[in-house]
Structure 1
Amino acid sequence: MTKLSWVVLKSFIGPFILNFTVWMILLDMQSLWLYIDDLMGKGLEWTVIMELMFYFSANWVPMALPLSILLASIMTLGRLGENNELVAMKAAGMSLFKIMKPLALLMILVAVGAFYFTNNLWPRANFKLRVLITDIQNTKAGIIFKDGIFYDDIEGYNIRVGSKSEDGGTLYDILIYDYTGLKANPGNAKDPRDLKRVISAKSGTILQNKKQNILELNLQTGFIFQEMSKNEIKNSKMPYSRYYFDHASLTIQLESFDFERSDEDQYEKEEYLMTLKQINQKLDSTDLNLQIKQKTWFDFYKNSFNVTRGKGDTNLIALGDIPPSFGYYDYLSDGDKKLNLGDAIDKLESKKQNTDKFIQIKRIMDEYKLNLIVKRHEKFTLSYAVIMLFFLGASLGAVIKKGGFGVPVLIAVGLFLVYFLLTRGGQEMATAGTLSPFLGMWLSAIILTPITLWIFFKANKDSKIFDFDFYTKLFKRKK
């Protein structure tokens, strides 16, 4: 590789790494804010948080990678044009394609890596992300009492704390609603407010035994207001009782309070979590299963009627072989006619229900097959987008001749929005069946590829069509 090629590569790699890092951080922060409520108060270790962020990062690569390549290519060629290095290279007899050749070879390697990532790493990362988020969401929130707010994340209890000490170890003005009596005697309560126990205390401390999953409240100076069930108040004139105490202890059993890992084998892999090989295998099995169901349905209806039921195993009865029997119904009594009509209606209704059920099953299987085909095309779209957006950005950079984060950022973001809207819109229409899977998944490529080739051709020929200085001078001259 020549020294010039190394210079071009170095000019590209720096902005690419910088842009990719910045976009990944921004997108990861967006994901973190989406799940901030599920993470707060869980007592998660920092390793779990870092693992979650790592899986989030893998999930955002299909968006950050094309945008970073587009922006870096505009900045690289724009900087070369701004410093007149591009003019010097062309004056030495080098075409734009030859200047871009080392970057194009690098993009081919990136496209191969993008396919491997989309096919192998991205499904695995999304699968682990879904399992990890489910485990975190199933973990009950930690004991974080806020002043004046009822805390109801402990099943059967609703706890309010008026204030806390600075270290959080002592609680003041405690009010506890205990609904465990309602859970133990559901048939004795007329509404959820019955069979509750109200505990009020001036102060208290918390002791938590994580090994035994028990929370113990040591309360001082208060009372317990206890409502009684119907059986308890038969021989009493008072429907409730009140106890005053100087010291009391309340033990609460915490179920599934700590974060625990679940077994990944219990999760079913959906179509977006499969590799290309698994998708092809699933498509084959789906087609085979659909053919079996269609044959079963056909045989069921064929054997339901005398006209189509076969003599023996294979031969069918032709309509002409059946003797006339129209007079059979006329000789029946009114009661037998009614029974025969009722039986015929029941059989037809049964056949209709079976037909509707089969149509519904076929529709579900067709939708599942459509999603599999969409995901199969999706394995290749990222790799192609890497190459297409690189040529688009490099061609525009050679024309604009502006480096840095000013104009290139605005142009790159605008072009990426067009690419993203076309890609997402095509995917949604392909999934909904409005467009074919091929046309929907390759919609952005079909629209942007001719534009990219045209811009590259004009940039390679040094056309004035994208030279903004040319239009400025022309406008001043006309004016």
Structure 2
Amino acid sequence: MKILDQYILTRFLYNFFSAFFILIVIFIFQGIWLFIDDLAGKGLGIVIIGKFLFYFIPTLVDKVLPLTVLLASILTFGTFAENYEFAAMKASGISLQRGMRSLIVYVILLGGVTFFFANTVIPKSEQKMFNLRRNIAKVKPAAAITEGIFSDFEGTGEGMNIKVDKKYGEQDRFLDNVIIHKKTKQSLNNTVIKAKEGELISSEESNIIQLVLKDGHYYEELKPKAVKARKKHPFAKSKFETYTINIDISELNNQDLEEDRNITTDKMKNVSRLIKDIDSLGKNNLEKVEAFSKNIVNRMGAFPENKVKDSTRIKKELIELVAKDTINAKKIANDTIKTVDELLTSLPEWQRMQIVNNAKTTVSSILTTVVTKKEELQKRFKFYNSHILSLHKKYALAFSCIILFFVGAPLGAIIRKGGLGLPMVVAIILFLTYYFIGVFASNYAKEGNINNVLGAWLPTLIMLPLGISLTRRATADKGLIGFGHILDGIKNLFKKKKASKE
């Protein structure tokens, strides 16, 4: 490696690792605010909190790394331009592209490492962090309850959903305004318990956690065996001063905080797993749609497959339909009915009303079924779209580091400013533009409004022409925004109009 390449690479690496360290610390503190309720005041040890933060750091790479590359390239080349080092290079016959050569090789290698990191480390980190949070909630019961929302609270027996307005006291053991939905083994919520106060009582020597409720009401829906009795919707209601729920945590005390569970989200999967799941999810969704379509067609009685009714069968069905009216039955049997209007005209009024009401009821029922099924299919396709997005985002993240380098390096040479002042402002503005475009594109892609592949690659594709344009302008020693050719174009336009008038 030549001395010049070594010098440029050393300066870039210094700015790169400095910016990465500063940004990762900022994002860690921002993340701590998100999970502060899950970690603070729960009696967790420093080791557990340290593991949580250790697993959390890799999940920040997709945000921190592109911004780091952009900021480091602007800082490096902005400092070179400010100190007239670029002028000395050009005077020696060294172009901008030649000065970027060593960094281009480094950024390409960085893109490969980034893809490997996104494909292996980040999914494993997401899975570890998810399992750690869930297992902490099981070992520390108060951690499983979040103020203001219903939280799943499961022991070794029947589970429940708990909502509290406020937690306070030592390790959040005291609860205000408790609402509990107890779940049966079939996961049905037939029991509701409301209490003004509650307390979690536990002991290190016991495998039982007691949830003591005070001043509340107990509601339970009863399900008799007789069908007629069920239509009356019977229920039991009682009032209590103190009600105790015992939760067996004998298995939870032996819970391994590092235990891996089933992979549940697309962020926890690598490329090979995503490709496999995308294929299976796509086939499964198509099967669901086809099965639902056949069901609707059968309910409508339209377009039956391989069932062509002849005129004799039609007459027979119509005769059975109006068997009570012998005059119309004979008329239908002897005449050929060509249209629906002729059929309705041949029937008495009460039968016409009956047919119309039945058709209306059938259509309303089918529409309700379609609306309900539409919501289910939308969730399925949203889950399917999120897998495609995650797959392409792994590739897009690697390419974004390369593209943003070609945006930041010529931009630094153009603005000719080093330090953390103007370069930091420009880098943040560009990164926020890149980030928010990615967020909106991902949301639109998940909903199916735009192509899934485009949703993952859109911010990178938008930055690509910007990088090409800035590189050309920096190579030609042009400013960031050239107004000269715009003014010249406007002047020429007015000259042409004036000449045409003359």
Alignment of 1:196-215 (within 5 A): 210-212=204-206
CA 1:305–1:389: 2 relative to 1, 3 Å:
closer
Structure 2 counterpart of 1:278, one-letter code: R
Q: State the alpha-carbon separation in 2 of the partners of residues 131 and 270 from structure 1.
A: 12
Q: State the alpha-carbon separation in 1 of the partners of residues 321 and 205 from structure 2.
A: 80
Q: Which residue of the partner structure matches residue 308 of structure 2?
A: 317
Moved more, 45-54 or 318-327: 318-327
CA 1:98–1:318: 2 relative to 1, 3 Å:
farther
Structure 1: which 5+ runs fail to align? Answer: 143-148, 160-189, 198-207, 216-225, 228-252, 469-479
CA 1:287–1:37: 2 relative to 1, 3 Å:
closer
Residue 271 of structure 1 contacts residue 279 of structure 1 at CA under 8 Å; is this kept in 2? yes
Structure 1 counterpart of 2:31, one-letter code: S
Q: Which residue of the partner structure matches residue 276 of structure 1?
A: 271
CA 1:98–1:363: 2 relative to 1, 3 Å:
same
| Structure 2 residue matching 1:331: 3-state secondary structure | coil
Q: Which residue of the partner structure matches residue 332 of structure 1?
A: 324
Q: State the alpha-carbon separation in 1 of the partners of residues 370 and 80 from structure 2.
A: 68
Q: Is 1:46 paired with 2:46?
A: yes
CA 1:71–1:286: 2 relative to 1, 3 Å:
same
Q: State the alpha-carbon separation in 1 of the partners of residues 101 and 310 from structure 2.
A: 74
CA 1:158–1:332: 2 relative to 1, 3 Å:
closer
Q: Which residue of the partner structure matches residue 61 of structure 1?
A: 61
Structure 1 counterpart of 2:26, one-letter code: L
Moved more, 286-295 or 100-109: 286-295
| Shift in Å, 1:433 | 3.1
Q: Which residue of the partner structure matches residue 428 of structure 1?
A: 443
Q: State the alpha-carbon separation in 1 of the partners of residues 459 and 364 from structure 2.
A: 48
CA 1:448–1:317: 2 relative to 1, 3 Å:
same
CA 1:402–1:375: 2 relative to 1, 3 Å:
same
Offset from partner CA, 1:245-279 (integer Å, 9 cap, x none): xxxxxxxx997697943575544421232222222
Residue 136 of structure 2 contacts residue 257 of structure 2 at CA under 8 Å; is this kept in 1? no
| Shift in Å, 1:18 | 0.7
Structure 2 counterpart of 1:124, one-letter code: K
Structure 1 counterpart of 2:6, one-letter code: W
Q: Which residue of the partner structure matches residue 103 of structure 1?
A: 103
Match of 1:402 among 417, 435, 450: 417
Alignment of 1:8-407 (within 5 A): 8-138=8-138, 139-140=140-141, 151=169, 210-212=204-206, 260-261=255-256, 264=259, 266-300=261-295, 309=304, 315-317=306-308, 322-325=313-316, 326-332=318-324, 355-356=370-371, 358-407=373-422
Paired positions, count:
381
| Shift in Å, 1:354 | 5.2
Q: State the alpha-carbon separation in 2 of the partners of residues 192 and 70 from structure 1.
A: 55
| Shift in Å, 1:71 | 0.9
Residue 395 of structure 1 contacts residue 455 of structure 1 at CA under 8 Å; is this kept in 2? yes
Q: Is 1:442 paired with 2:457?
A: yes
Structure 2: which 5+ runs fail to align? Answer: 144-166, 177-192, 216-245, 326-347, 484-502
Residue 131 of structure 2 contacts residue 261 of structure 2 at CA under 8 Å; is this kept in 1? no
Q: State the alpha-carbon separation in 2 of the partners of residues 68 and 49 from structure 1.
A: 26
Offset from partner CA, 1:120-164 (integer Å, 9 cap, x none): 22122112112212233441459xxxxxx9638676x679xxxxx
Q: State the alpha-carbon separation in 2 of the partners of residues 306 and 467 from structure 1.
A: 69
Q: State the alpha-carbon separation in 2 of the partners of residues 50 and 279 from structure 1.
A: 30
Q: TM-score, structure 1 length as denominator?
A: 0.68
Q: State the alpha-carbon separation in 2 of the partners of residues 431 and 308 from structure 1.
A: 34
Moved more, 14-23 or 120-129: 120-129
CA 1:346–1:434: 2 relative to 1, 3 Å:
closer
Offset from partner CA, 1:386-428 (integer Å, 9 cap, x none): 1111111100111222222222212212221222222222222
Residue 307 of structure 1 contacts residue 318 of structure 1 at CA under 8 Å; is this kept in 2? no
Q: TM-score, structure 2 length as denominator?
A: 0.65
CA 1:319–1:3: 2 relative to 1, 3 Å:
farther
| Structure 1 residue matching 2:16: 3-state secondary structure | helix
| Structure 2 residue matching 1:35: 3-state secondary structure | helix
Q: State the alpha-carbon separation in 2 of the partners of residues 413 and 259 from structure 1.
A: 47
Q: State the alpha-carbon separation in 2 of the partners of residues 343 and 158 from structure 1.
A: 54
Offset from partner CA, 1:205-240 (integer Å, 9 cap, x none): xxx96354699xxxxxxxxxx99xxxxxxxxxxxxx
Q: Which residue of the partner structure matches residue 468 of structure 2?
A: 453
Structure 2 counterpart of 1:331, one-letter code: A
Q: State the alpha-carbon separation in 2 of the partners of residues 80 and 292 from structure 1.
A: 60
| Shift in Å, 1:100 | 0.3
Offset from partner CA, 1:92-140 (integer Å, 9 cap, x none): 2222111101101111111111112222221221121122122334414
| Shift in Å, 1:356 | 4.8
Which structure has more helix as a fraction of its residues?
2
